[in-house]
Structure 1
Amino acid sequence: MQSSQRILLYNAMSESVFKRLLYCIFPRRCDLCGDVVPISSKRCDACLHCEKIEGEACEMCGMDKASCTCKDSHHKPEYEQIVAPFYYSDNAVKAVYRLKFNGYSELAVTMAEEIVKCIKKQYHNINFDCITYVPLSADREKARGYNQSRLIAEEISKMLNIPVEHTFYKAYENPPQRNQNARMRRANVFGAFDVNDGVNPQGKTYLVVDDVKTTGATLSECAAVLDSYGSTAVYTAVFAIRKKSARSTAG
């Protein structure tokens, strides 16, 4: 074996040993939910079996056709389409909750990776001018330490090389969306958002990002605001979509 090959082998072995020592001190965690996993695994078994949205999906609600109930709805969303990789169930709930409330900000990276797979598949023919995200009020963002939707949007921006625009601000502090029915959610977000000074949506095609879609009221309101300012089209993407029969703790 040549000396250069020995050096490469030694470096590789040293790196492997170093990683194992690190994992003894700082256990490896699932890249989706944050649970501790074996050194050889990136994702826990529960996250590997999270319920994915597969097959042909409805453009209005994002669910597969078998689960879609849009035919029973009288409210068409203002956005053009929504995509998501997972249903809001099982470990997807844990992942969102930990990102949103427990400070696991690093989970935004994997969530973005999963969303990007959907974007590349279903929005491959869309030329987005920018990516934006659902805003939080200043008080809520300060208490949480960050806006989880912004973190996800910024990671998607890096992966797709599409600029992030800090489009919206909260016009007033509305109550959290969780534990409200569909009608209350629509009323709760009506007029809640406006566009920041210096932002001009005229003629732009937007991708609006959020963590979870429950009824779609929040995303629809964001799309309506952009439409009122002259945007060309608004598409949306989230990490998880709640089925109508499931109970949600998301905002």
Structure 2
Amino acid sequence: MANCSIPAKEAECESTTKPNWLELPTDITTNILQRLGTTEVVTNACHVCPLWWNICKDPLMWHTIRIPFLMHTPYSCDDLEKICRFAVKRSCGRLEDIDIEYFATDDLLECIADNANIRCLRLAKCLNISSKVFCEAVGKLPRLEELDISYSGRLTYSLDVIGRSCPLLKSFKFARYGFNSHSSNEDGFMIAETMPGNEVYNDGLLAILDACPLLESLNLLGCFNLDFTESLQQRCVEQIKSVQWPRRNPPFENFLMIVYTSLS
């Protein structure tokens, strides 16, 4: 009998120490739910119980949306787009930070751009967005402070529009696959008139350095088309706080990514 009572007591003790999630204060439950990914909240958490559903109806729950495209995700691109639309709609205009990968489309971006309070927008590897729609969307986001369109190749010719439309922009990331000698300097001068950018030759890099006095971080990895003279190296070191110099990488890493950070 003694042997049988020990497991029973342990089970009773274990059951009394497990937290009752429904008895947690609402603010703590909200904090926990906000730590989940957007996909998990939309597809699972908000359906757990009426309390969690009501918490998830609060627009403040959706001021940040992050939906990465995972290799083994059970959701298709169409599914992820629907999840994103649901989250954007729930934000009721309170959306400030959105980070999505791969599955974005013109229609989805138009939906996102209706939220003028967005401060941070990341569209990585989103190859199905046209420059036309992107330019229209950026024009609706005057409060944008951080923008990342890395590897979204069709947005190349939107760089000048970004500069004109986003006066508050502090951070800009633009990296591309591959190497295109025709566009290298063209991108450089276009960006130099507005903000930092991508692949350049020496003249393009100098134009960026001249036009961007607040530039703090310069990533030159894979930019083998640059000829670093002693004067150019000195200019970079004196003007930029953090410089990553070119090193031999595979061809697809031939890009220059510059982060423009305001000193204020």
TM bucket, shorter chain:
under 0.3
Greater share of helix:
2
Q: TM-score, normalised by structure 2?
A: 0.26
Which structure is larger by alpha-carbon Rg, 1 or 2?
A: 2
Q: TM-score, normalised by structure 1?
A: 0.26
